[in-house]
Structure formats: C-alpha cells, structure tokens
Amino acid sequence: MKTTKEDIILTSLRLFAERGFEAVSTSMIAQELGITKGALYRHYENKQAIFDAIIVKMFELDAKQAETSGVPVKEYSDDAEAYKETGFRDLCEFVNEQYSFWTENEFAKLFRRMITIEQFKSPEMNKLYQDVIAIGPVKYTKDLFGEMIVNGQLNADAAGLGAWNLAVQFFAPLQLSIQLFDGGADSEETRENLKKVTREFERKYIKQVCSQ
C-alpha cells in the first residue's frame, strides 16, 4: 500500500509523543512505516519538515472544531465581528466539544502528549504549548467574554469580575477534566461533570440560558 503524507505525519507524531522529538530519527520513522529513507525524503526533506507539517495539521483541526461549534476561527484582531456575534450557547458547545476533541481524536491526543513533554525542552516548544494548550485558549475565551460583557449577555457580577478572570474560571475546568481523563477517570462521568460546571457558570453570570 502506498505511503501518504498523512501516514508519515501520524506515525511520526506517535513516535514523537512516545519518545520525544530529539530521540526520533528519520531512520526510525521510515522503519516504522516500512519504507526506505529515500521514500520518506520524497515527501519530507527532513524531520523538521515533518514536525512543521504536524503543526499545520493541528491548527487545521483546531480551526475545523471552532467552525463546527460556531465560534470564531481567527484571532480577535483579525475578525472582531465574529466575536461580537458569538453567544454563550456557542461557547458552551465549543468547550464540550473541546473535551471530546482532546481526549478522543487520535491526532489531537498524540499532539497534546508530545507538546506537553516538549514544552520543557526549548523556548519555542514552550511557546507552542502556551499558544495551543494553555494561555492561547484563555486569551481566546477572554476576548469572547469581553464582547459578551459589551453586548449584555453577562450580568453585573460577571462584568465586575472582568473578562480575563471569567475566562480563567471558565477554561480551568476543561483543562482539569482532560487531566482527570489522562489519570484514568471515567470519560463520560468527567464529561457530564464538565457540563454541570458549565451550567453553574451560566447560572451565576449569564443572562441568557445555555442549553445543554
């Protein structure tokens, strides 16, 4: 069977997640795929090119998740209007789908495992981790809540707390839920608990009801 670029990046990602980027060679990748190094190089010139392709794929998948949930794909500075049009119902759906994405999608699970390990090895990897897993999602949520404060979706208590603190409070349960899943917690129970936390957030701060 012909080896495709998709085969190469998924196999490479799996090896990077298991052994670390530096410990994996192109020879190891080729051997795992059952092809020659020459055949591998016809698709990607080196290991870094494979890694770069993994990053591109990850951002494509992340954008697709946002689009499916009806939340902005681009950053606030590039598409402020989309943030103004996003409701809390959309954000609820997105955060629940994010739990499924990071715990069920094979590519996303492997990427999260890889970047969690690699974040400590270089400033570049740490920035990637922060952008994709940590601070980036909080900033994204902060921008959404900022617009919800302006358009009146949030109550006075929420406005007083501020968009950043709201975002941290809203996003933290998702991160913890994913970590609980990694530790062996029951996935469906964890998912339902996350939904309960989201509903409690709605009860405290949101004027419009979020259907679950």
Query: For residue range 23-64, what is the model confidence (pLDDT) as tens digits?
Result: 999 999 999 999 999 999 999 999 999 999 999 999 999 999
If one counts every other C-beta atom within 10 angstroms of the C-beta of residue 163, the result is: 21
Give the pair of three-digit tokens for residue 10.
Answer: 């998924």
- Residue 207 pLDDT: 79
- Residue 98 pLDDT: 96
Kindly tell me if the per-residue pLDDT of 162 is higher than 80: yes
Q: How far apart are CA 97 and CA 130, in angstroms?
A: 20
If one counts every other C-beta atom within 10 angstroms of the C-beta of residue 106, the result is: 10
- Cβ neighbours of residue 36 under 8 Å, at least 6 residues apart? 30
Phi, psi of 206 (to 5 degrees): -105, 135
How does the average pLDDT of the chain come out, rounded? 94
Is the whole-model pTM more than 0.85? yes
Closest CA to 12 of 102, 44, 1: 44
The CATH code of domain 57-205 reads 1.10.357
Query: For residue range 105-153, what is the model confidence (pLDDT) as tens digits?
Result: 999 999 999 999 999 999 999 999 999 999 999 999 999 999 999 999 9
- Are the beta carbons of 50 and 29 closer than 8 angstroms? yes
Q: How far apart are CA 112 and CA 114, in angstroms?
A: 5
Taking only Cα atoms into account, the Rg of the chain, rounded to an integer number of angstroms, comes to: 19
Residue linked to tokens 């400033």 = 123
Helix (H, G, I), strand (E, B) or coil at 45: coil
Query: For residue range 71-109, what is the model confidence (pLDDT) as tens digits?
Result: 999 999 999 999 999 999 899 899 999 999 999 999 999
Phi, psi of 74 (to 5 degrees): -90, 170
Confidence of residue 197 (pLDDT cuts 50, 70, 90): very high
Kindly tell me if the per-residue pLDDT of 209 is higher than 90: no
76 exposure class (CB count in 10 Å sphere: 0-12, 13-18, 19+): middle
- Are the beta carbons of 141 and 171 closer than 8 angstroms? yes
Give the pair of three-digit tokens for residue 9.
Answer: 């990046």
Residue 13 region, left (φ>0) first, then alpha (ψ -120 to 50), else beta? alpha
- Residue 94 pLDDT: 93
Q: How far apart are CA 7 and CA 178, in angstroms?
A: 26
